[in-house]
Amino acid sequence: MRKILFNSFNSLGLIMAMGLCLFGCKPESEGELGEPFDKVKGMTGIWELNRFTQQDLNSPVKETRDLSSFYIDGVATPLQLTFNEDRTYAVAIELGKNYFGEGGTWGFDDEVYPTYLELYSATDTLIYNLGGMVREFDQSLYIEYRRDCGGTATNIYTFEFNRLN
């Protein structure tokens, strides 16, 4: 019985050693990634709301509801955010609730690896999750507003913008 167990362990060890030899070495990556893109230039421009959705985190059915009609009716100009290179921003809104304030200055939580967009006004600081960092040539911007109650997230509002310029 010991001989069978010993042979089984030897076989298993041999298979593992062969696997390490075959898959342990991989070719080195070559090339340059290039310079990181400028995050401020990526945000700079006029962004118009294309879609507005809500996800209720307390619902047993984790569905996302399209509530774009609160902002987009086909007649009025949809919500627009203008981010300037000097780090000022402006809001133009005709329909819907204004979650972005009246305008002010903007920034990131981390200039190199931003996760949050921060909007500063004379009376408030608003912080939003970025759905991804935009580059100068990207045409879409995703901003998430997470509502919470007592420190527990209850809803996620996602604003999807298209670049106008």
- CATH code of the domain containing 139: 2.40.128.540
Average pLDDT over residues 79-103: 95
CA angle 62, 63, 64 (to 5 degrees): 130
Whether residue 2 is contained in a domain is answered as no
Is position 7 within any domain?
no
Confidence of residue 60 (pLDDT cuts 50, 70, 90): confident
In the prediction, which pLDDT does 19 show?
60
Q: Is 85 within 8 Å of 78 (Cβ atoms)?
A: no
Q: Does residue 65 sit within a domain?
A: yes
Flag whether 3 is in a domain.
no
In a domain, 108, yes or no: yes
Q: pLDDT at position 1, please?
A: 47
Residue span of the structural domain in which 109 resides: 39-163
Rounded average pLDDT over 79-97: 96
Does the residue 88 lie in any domain? Answer: yes
The SS3 call for residue 129 is strand
Q: pLDDT for 134-160, tens place per residue?
A: 999 999 999 999 988 888 888 999 999
Q: How many domains does the chain have?
A: 1
* Res 29: pLDDT: 67
* pTM of the complete model: 0.76
DSSP class of residue 68?
G
Question: What's the distance, Cα to Cα, between the start and end of the chain in Å?
Answer: 77
pLDDT of residue 133: 85
Q: pLDDT tens-digit profile of 97-130?
A: 999 999 999 999 998 889 999 999 988 999 999 9
Q: Is residue 104 part of a domain?
A: yes
Report whether pLDDT(20) > 80: no
How far apart CA 81 and CA 91 sit, in angstroms, is 5
Look at residue 148 in the predicted model and tell me its pLDDT: 85
- Residue 5: the pLDDT is 43
